[in-house]
Structure formats: structure tokens, C-alpha cells
Amino acid sequence: MKINIGDIYRDQRSKYDFVSKFSSEKFLDITFGKYFDFTKSELLLSKGVKEVWSLDVLNNDQYLTVRKLNHEQKICFQKKDIKELEHTKFDLIFSFNVMRVTYNINPLLKIIQNCLSPNGIVVISIYNNDVFLNPDNNLNSSKQKLLSTSDFKKTLKLFFSDVSFLSQGDISQIKKFTENIISKNVTLASTKSLVKHNFKFFFKTNVRLQSFYLKYILPLYLYYKKLRRERKFKIDPRKYEIISYDEQKTPISIIAVCKNMT
């Protein structure tokens, strides 16, 4: 399944900003890949967290990584044996969009069950797979089985007696992106590229034309390109906002805050 909403960094950053508001000295983050590990640790440690533990399930659960601040207030890194989880408890455990890679979330919840302290909190998010399961929208580019929103809710309520839901983003962002890709005229793009190439070639035919191009035309083109790029990638401040879940809307991600394990 390919998902492109324009800015994965801000999408993830917003989630980690959200969990940083919970009071806990030691966090466990269960991830699928390490691409955001340092950034999320830098953020959480700056908020007063003492230790950020990470379990990467893409690493086949071979080891844990722990980041914390040393006496010079610099981030230090260490590996721990996976067996450390057998006798370590956390007041806060979170996992963002790991469950999009599987429709069976019980193994992940078993890990959480073993590591969560009695009064601990779990924050879990998945993509709104009800939309990706819809054959009419072309948003699911593979035959991968996906976890439906209803199954996600039911499963969590089997493990926790207190579950509340929030949402992030709007699915129209993905639909708009997909429609733009489908409707893009490849022939027109190729023609524009050819015209630009010929235009540059013309001004390279002699020294005077080349000088004119570099002095007058190129700066104007670069200015236009900068404005166009800024407009294209302008970020709506509400795009990644985490808000209360509304059944009438279609968010990109659904976030569950879970307490009181059964």
C-alpha cells in the first residue's frame, strides 16, 4: 500500500508532540523501521523524558535501542538485549501506524500487555483502512490485507476497559493527491520539458545570448520556480492536527488512547 500525503515528517512529528504531553520518565515506542528514531528521541528528551526505548519490529525483535541525555546534555545511544522487556515496565507505550503492515495486531498487544505498568497508558494509531478497503477509490495499490477500523476498535476493547479515539488529517488530502496523479497529462509534461530544453539550447548558441540568459532570464525563471514550489508545498496548519474522533468525518489516521488493561 502506497500512501503519500506530502509530508511524512510533519505527520509523525505531530503524533510525537501529542504523546510528549503525557507524564512519564521512560517511554517505549514500538516502530516498523528506524527512520524517525533520532528525531523523536530529540523531541521527547527535550520535553523532560529521561529515557526513550525503541523496539523495531522490522528488526525481528533482536534488540532494543535506548536514548537518553548524558551529563553534557547530549543524546547517547545504547543497545539492550530484547530480554530486557521481560522485566521492564513502562508508564507510556506508543506505536504509530505499525499496524498498517498487518491485520493481526494481537502479537503487538501481547508485547504491550507484558510491558505496561498497572496504571500505564497506551497510544496506538492506524491509517483509516476503511477508506483503503473501498475498491472505488484506488488508494490501496496492493492486495495486502488491511485492518479495518471496526476490528481495530473491537480488538482494543478486548484488551482495555478504557479506550478513547482521536483523529488526524483528512482523507481528502490523499484523494486529491491520487486524482492529480491519475489525471496528470504525461504528454503535456514531456512537451513542456522539450520546450524548456530547446529554449536553453537557443540561448547557448553564442556568447551574447548566453550572457543575456544568465543575467536576465535565469533569475526570473528561478524566482518563478521558487514561488511555484512554495505554493505547491504550502502546509495547512490544520493538516496534521490531532482532534477528537468524529464518525461523520474521514481522517487519515485514527489514534487510540488506551488505559486499564483487562
pLDDT at 115 over 90: yes
- 102, three cell numbers: 498487518
* pTM passes above 0.75: no
- 84, three cell numbers: 530486557
Task: Choose between 209 and 144: higher pLDDT.
Answer: 209
Strands 116-127, 90-96: pairing kind: parallel
d(CA 182, CA 178): 6
Contact 20, 44 (CB under 8 A): yes
258 band by pLDDT with thresholds 50, 70 and 90: very high
d(CA 130, CA 243): 19
- DSSP, residue by residue, 197-254: HHHHHHHTSSHHHHHHIIIIIHHHHHHHHHHHHHHHTPPPTTTT-EEE--TTS--SEE
Evaluate whether residue 111 is within a structural domain.
Answer: yes
Per-residue pLDDT of 202-213, as tens digits, reads 767 777 777 887
Evaluate whether residue 1 is within a structural domain.
Answer: no
Question: What is the tally of structural domains in the chain?
Answer: 2
Per-residue pLDDT of 8-35, as tens digits, reads 778 888 899 999 988 888 999 998 888 8
Task: Find the domain containing 185 and state its range.
Answer: 176-232
Q: Are residues 160 and 202 in the same domain?
A: no
Q: Is residue 154 classed exposed, middle or buried when 0-12, 13-18 and 19+ CB atoms within 10 A define those classes?
A: exposed
- 100, three cell numbers: 498498517
pLDDT at 152 over 80: yes
Q: Are residues 226 and 111 in the same domain?
A: no
Q: Are residues 40 and 132 in the same domain?
A: yes
Task: Choose between 193 and 160: higher pLDDT.
Answer: 160
Q: Are residues 144 and 195 in the same domain?
A: no
Evaluate whether residue 201 is within a structural domain.
Answer: yes
- 194, three cell numbers: 522539450
Beta pairing partners, 96: 125
pLDDT at 122 over 90: yes
104 band by pLDDT with thresholds 50, 70 and 90: confident
Mean pLDDT, residues 50-66 taken together:
86
